[in-house]
Amino acid sequence: MPEFDLRFVLGHYNYWMFVILMMTGLYITVSRGNLIKKVIGLNIFQAAVFMLYISMGKITGGTAPVLIEDPDAVYSNALPHVLILTAIVVGIATTAVALALILRIRETYGTIEEDELTRIEQEMDAAPGSAQG
Amino acid sequence: MMSLIEANLPALQVMLPLAAAPFCLILGRGSGAWALATFIAFATFAISISLFAQTYEGAVVTYHMGNWAPPIGIEYRIDIANAFVLLIVSGVAAIVLPYARRSIDAEIPAERQPLFYTAFLLCIAGLLGVTITGDAFNVFVFFEISALSTYALVAAGSWVNKRALTAAYNYLIMGTVGATFFVIGIGMLYMVTGTLNMADLATRIAAHGSSSTVQMGFVFILVGIGLKLAMFPLHLWLPNAYSFAPSVVTVFLSATATKVAVYVMLRFMFSVFGFDYEFQANTLRLVALPLAIIAMFAASIVAIFQDDLKRMLAYSSIAQIGYILLGFTLLTDTGLTAGIVHLFNHAVTKAALFMVAGCFVFAAGTSSLSRLGGIGRDMPWTTAAFVIAGLSIIGLPLTVGFVSKWYLVLAALELGWWPVALMVMASSLLAIIYIWRVIEIAYLKPAPEGVTRREAPLSMLLPTWIFVGLIIWFGVNAMMSSTAAGRAAHALINSSHMLWKD
């Protein structure tokens, strides 16, 4: 059993927050019935992962990765930050597609609540002829 | 000029469809967008044939993006294993697109068609990118390119049935969660190794050995890709997405998207991860293998009770993915070969079956089995194609399905696991039931009142029969596909840092 170490706990603050945010986001995505809220949950989930990457790039005492005169300078790792720029773009694209889909769902079904959507679809199943068109 | 093209083939493989996609939009209404997409599909097919020929003898083609040497730059790394998958993806795309024209005309309004072909090309680019790249984060980016375009493609089914919208939405949520899990896994590996190049990752993970971070990375990647490839019980997005997408999209996705995800799974499980044989083998054998067997039975049983042909085939796909997973979780040379052979065989077979379903939708306006009675008399060629492809799903000799089952049973018996071999055969019996149901309805039931159905047009029939031809050709000349699969299996195992052969 490792001893309780306050510095370890506080030093990994970012990572604790990553875990909490990630689980919050995932829980919202799974548990909410409102389609918009699901997307918000997904965004929180993704933001948590961004935080994981950004945290891991930080080096204690490291400066911003801009070339400076000092030969002994310690730089933070810029690569994870750059990766996350890509991931943010992917996240925005996903959100955009999701919102576009929700818009279309609202137009055709008249609701964005999952239980009502399920009910409408079950009624469509019960009357197969009307499923087309 | 030729040498310049030849040197840049790996980049062109992905760049061609990616760069051509916006032009589909510019070409606008009419058949221009379709013609361009088809031309590009054939061009990428030609490139992948060339890459396959180059790697067939065991050579590895590497390409450094922008001339940045790996591990800093992004590397495209093609060995026989991914050349084989590239061939499947681009080949299916090239056969599907000629089929697409009439089918899409019937299912999507003319002014939206350029958008459809744009998304289709982006999807091809994404899938090819996932397969060709040697960089772990690049895999994620291409996964999302293909996934985002797939969501749009699935939603395009909403002109026929509005449920395509909710299907696409659910697919989006699950697909994104899967991709994000995959990114978390990659992040864990990066923390430990400081690299993203897959070959470099493999070396460094092997040197690093086991730690909880690597183990978590392994599990996150397993679950993340598991969602993408519809590994039971993470398959919930698949049935709706496949049943409500436009017929063409279903054909393409069933034959390629899950296969590419399986390839990524193979690449990570066999090549990249080599930290602790015990841990990895136990995870795969005690978790993934039972799930694969459950999928074989559960999904087949559910398939028997479906009224919609596309939905039935979708459940059958989940079962077939079970066979692929079973093959490689046996963790032997033969098992891996069986998995890869089935990857190819299932792609060909399921493409043929979904094409038949698409022809039915085109001619009869429905894929509901209760309204397809007697269709075998009206559409003899289409239904005959279904019968042959159906026999292949069951696994009868002289079809590719038999080759896969043969290797699977062989692999299980090699380990002395005869109950597994028996279960492979028992689950094939379930396939007989659901395939027979369709055949019975198509030939023996009377046609519904007042329905006129004509044989599908040649542009749809011919691609269907090309796949049927492949089913028989590779069923008879089984050595061709299984030699390639065997070499791919060796390539994966040899690039591994663990002794998989026990």
**pLDDT at residue number B89:** 94
Query: Mind telling me how many Å the CA of A7 is from chain B's nearest CA?
Result: 20
**A75 burial level (CB within 10 Å; 0-12, 13-18, 19+):** middle
**pLDDT at residue number B502:** 44
Of B144, B169, B191, the CB nearest to A105: B169
Cα distances (angstroms) measured from residue A78 to each of A11, A62, A65, A75, A82: 20, 11, 6, 8, 6
- Is A101–B184 a contact, with Cβ atoms under 8 angstroms apart? no
Count of residues in chain B: 502
> What torsion do the CA atoms of A15, A18, A23, A29 make, to the nearest 10 degrees?
-170
Query: Mind telling me how many Å the CA of B248 is from chain A's nearest CA?
Result: 18
**pLDDT at residue number B164:** 92
What's the ipTM? Answer: 0.91
CA max distance for chain B: 71
Q: Say if A98 is an interface residue toward chain B (CB within 8 Å).
A: yes
Spell out which residues of chain A touch residue B72, defining contact as CB-CB under 8 Å: none
| Rounded Cα–Cα distance for residues B368 and B352 (Å) | 18
- Is A104–B160 a contact, with Cβ atoms under 8 angstroms apart? no
Query: Mind telling me how many Å the CA of A50 is from chain B's nearest CA?
Result: 9
| Rounded Cα–Cα distance for residues B377 and B370 (Å) | 16
Looking at residue A92, its amino acid is I
Q: Model confidence over A62-85: pLDDT tens digits?
A: 888 788 888 788 888 888 888 999
- Is A109–B162 a contact, with Cβ atoms under 8 angstroms apart? yes
Spell out which residues of chain A touch residue B191, defining contact as CB-CB under 8 Å: 56
- Report the interhelical angle of B247-266 vs B309-329 (nearest 10°): 10
Q: What is the chain A residue with the closest CA to B73?
A: A79
**pLDDT at residue number A73:** 82
Residue A114: phi and psi, rounded to 5, are: -60, -40
Q: Say if B167 is an interface residue toward chain A (CB within 8 Å).
A: no
Of B140, B166, B191, the CB nearest to A121: B166
pLDDT at A131 over 60: no
- Is B166–A29 a contact, with Cβ atoms under 8 angstroms apart? no
**A13 burial level (CB within 10 Å; 0-12, 13-18, 19+):** exposed
- Is A56–B190 a contact, with Cβ atoms under 8 angstroms apart? yes
Residue B355's H or E segment, with its range, is: helix B333-364
Count of residues in chain A: 133
Domain-by-domain residue ranges, chain B? 289-502
At CA B475, angle to CA B469 and CA B478, rounded to 5? 125
- Is B165–A108 a contact, with Cβ atoms under 8 angstroms apart? yes
Interface contacts A/B by beta carbons within 8 Å: 82
| Rounded Cα–Cα distance for residues A101 and B115 (Å) | 15
| Rounded Cα–Cα distance for residues B40 and B281 (Å) | 41
- Is A101–B165 a contact, with Cβ atoms under 8 angstroms apart? yes
- Is A101–B169 a contact, with Cβ atoms under 8 angstroms apart? yes
- Is B169–A29 a contact, with Cβ atoms under 8 angstroms apart? no
Domain-by-domain residue ranges, chain A? 6-128
Kindly report the CATH number that applies to the domain delimited by A6-128. 1.10.287.3510
Q: Model confidence over B49-80: pLDDT tens digits?
A: 999 999 988 888 888 988 888 878 888 989 89
Query: Mind telling me how many Å the CA of A118 is from chain B's nearest CA?
Result: 9
The DSSP annotation for chain A comes to -PPP-HHHHHHTHHHHHHHHHHHHHHHHHHH--BHHHHHHHHHHHHHHHHHHHHHHH--TT-B-SS--S-TT--B---HHHHHHHHHHHHHHHHHHHHHHHHHHHHHHHS--BHHHHHHHHHHHHHSGGGG--
Of B163, B184, B190, the CB nearest to A121: B163
Q: What is the chain A residue with the closest CA to B167?
A: A101
Spell out which residues of chain B touch residue A53, defining contact as CB-CB under 8 Å: 187
**pLDDT at residue number B6:** 82
Query: Mind telling me how many Å the CA of A93 is from chain B's nearest CA?
Result: 8
Query: Which residue of B177, B197, B236 is the best one to mutate when testing the A interface, meaning the one whose CB has the most A CBs within 10 A?
Result: B177
Q: Model confidence over B192-205: pLDDT tens digits?
A: 998 898 888 888 88
Residue B69: phi and psi, rounded to 5, are: -70, 140
Query: Mind telling me how many Å the CA of A80 is from chain B's nearest CA?
Result: 9
Looking at residue B482, its amino acid is S
**pLDDT at residue number B244:** 93
Q: Say if A87 is an interface residue toward chain B (CB within 8 Å).
A: yes
Per-residue pLDDT of chain B (502 residues; tens, 9 = 90+): 778 888 888 898 999 999 999 998 888 777 889 999 999 999 999 999 999 999 988 888 888 988 888 878 888 989 898 899 999 999 999 999 999 999 988 888 888 899 999 999 999 999 999 999 989 999 999 999 999 999 999 999 998 888 999 999 999 999 999 999 999 999 999 999 988 988 888 888 888 888 888 999 999 999 999 999 888 888 889 999 999 999 999 999 999 999 999 999 999 988 888 777 788 888 888 889 999 999 999 999 999 999 899 999 999 999 999 999 999 888 888 888 999 999 999 999 999 999 999 999 999 888 888 888 888 888 999 999 999 999 999 988 889 999 999 999 999 998 888 899 999 999 999 999 999 999 999 998 888 877 778 888 889 999 999 999 999 999 988 888 888 888 888 888 777 665 554 4
Q: Say if B370 is an interface residue toward chain A (CB within 8 Å).
A: yes
pLDDT at A129 over 70: no
Q: Say if B173 is an interface residue toward chain A (CB within 8 Å).
A: yes
Query: Mind telling me how many Å the CA of A132 is from chain B's nearest CA?
Result: 6
The reply to whether the predicted model has a pTM over 0.95 is no
In chain B, positions 289-308, which contact chain A (CB-CB < 8 Å)? 307
Query: Which residue of B118, B169, B184, B306 is the best one to mutate when testing the A interface, meaning the one whose CB has the most A CBs within 10 A?
Result: B169
